[in-house]
Amino acid sequence: MKSKIIPFIFQIPLILVFIISCNSPGMNENSDMANLHFVVPDAITVDSPTNFFGRPEEYLEWEAENTLRLVDEILLRFPPDTNENIVRYSAFQMLDLVYHDVEAPRRPAVQNFFHRRFAHALAEMKETSVEEGAMIWKLYNMSIVARTASVTVCFDLVRAHSSRVEEFAVPYELMKPVIDQCDALFISHRHRDHADQWVAQAFIDQGKPVVAPPEVWEGEEIHAGVTHFERIAHEIQTLPVQSGEQELRVVVYPGHQGTTIQNNVPLVITPEGISFVHTGDQSNDEDFEWIDRVGEFHHVDVYIPNTWTTDPVRAASGYNASLILPAHENELGHVIAHREAYILNYRRWNVPYPVLMMAWGEKYHYIPDKYRRAE
């Protein structure tokens, strides 16, 4: 029964795009209407058959391919912005519908989309230098790359083998150049959708620091090459990068996933004074003892929480960040009930702070003067 109703469901966001968006009062009449121009027949794959009788799986693959091609076009024309519009909302709804197919990571359409988005981000990294603020790329799940004028750091960078589908995972020729672009890797905890031993070893082999909790790869050879900072709330420690040419100031907050899993919550301050907090899978009520006071001790520019973190409203208040960038949506290694929908962010992160929604492979230029509030 599900496969019979999916085709109609996939049409709903398209109807919203072309009917509601065209009349949206929040849109610039000239530029946004130009962006909405779309030759639909040319966008449908040329190998489309007249029908799919007796071929339901092929039908779903065809729908996923065309849906994701449309999403690609929307993301290109309407980049991330804290002032969301119905067009991007529709794109996120379409992504949720595709990703919530149990077979999503096995579908070539999804694999190709992921690799296209990753390659797009990599191409931008190679061409991007930053003079002001920070450029932030969201690659997959909680894999984040952040670049300022002096340094490039990344958080929970993985190839996505957590999907359990080799064809979905990022290939060497895409991941190795991303590693080459980065100066340091921060790993929140031991789960494979956050910690990738091959990626970490590549950093270590290049003489770049990898910071992780002590229990990550404990008892394995790689463990000795990983930096294990003390997990002390609010206390700044230093991390040399670029062979000592630059230095990061780092607070490693003693977070947890549940009650027993060590989950580092690093606050990383670049030489320019721009700060990032990445929470990994932080989810523990008792940790509000320090979460409630982070903003009292340190300014947080960009707060990157797992979308389902404990009490988002209270957490947002504690970090008191200039910008919130939710992550960990649609980890395709999770069961459907825990493939967190993008559109849930609109309810979960309905907080009195700027919130930015990003899909795989998107970037955003964070300008501190635009977001920092008067102290």
The string of pLDDT tens digits covering residues 358-374 is 999 999 999 999 999 85
- Looking at the fold, whether 344 and 213 belong to one and the same domain comes out as yes
Average pLDDT over residues 50-61: 90
User: What range defines the domain where residue 249 resides?
Assistant: 130-371
Residues with Cβ within 8 Å of residue 182, at least 6 apart in sequence: 145, 152, 153, 154, 157, 203, 208
**Residue 3: per-residue pLDDT:** 38
203 & 103 share domain:
no
Distances (CA, A) of 109 to 58, 62, 99, 194, 333: 11, 8, 11, 24, 17
Query: In angstroms, rounded to a whole number, what is the distance separating the alpha carbons of residues 227 and 234?
Result: 18
Residue 48 inside a domain? The answer is: yes
- In the three-class reduction of DSSP (H, G, I as helix; E, B as strand; rest coil), residue 116 is classed as helix
> What are the tens digits of pLDDT across the range 153-185?
999 999 999 999 999 999 999 999 999 999 999
Q: What is the pLDDT of residue 106?
A: 98
Q: In which band, very low, low, confident or very high, does the pLDDT at 40 lie, cut at 50, 70 and 90?
A: low
| Cα-Cα end-to-end distance for the chain | 56
Residues 269 and 345 in one domain: yes
Q: What is the CATH number of the domain that holds 334?
A: 3.60.15.10
36: pLDDT strictly greater than 90? no
Q: Are residues 68 and 189 in the same domain?
A: no
140, two tokens: 């997959």
What average pLDDT does range 57-67 have in this prediction?
93
Q: 114 in a domain, yes or no? A: no
What's the rounded Cα separation, in Å, for the pair 364 and 231?
30
Query: At residue 24, does pLDDT exceed 60?
Result: no
Q: Is the pLDDT of residue 18 over 70?
A: no
Residue 251, pLDDT above cutoff 60: yes
Based on the fold, state whether residues 96 and 137 are members of the same structural domain: no
3-class state of residue 243 by DSSP: coil
**Number of domains observed in the structure of the chain:** 2
| AA letter at 45 | T
Within a domain: 117 = no
Whether residues 52 and 159 fall in one domain: no
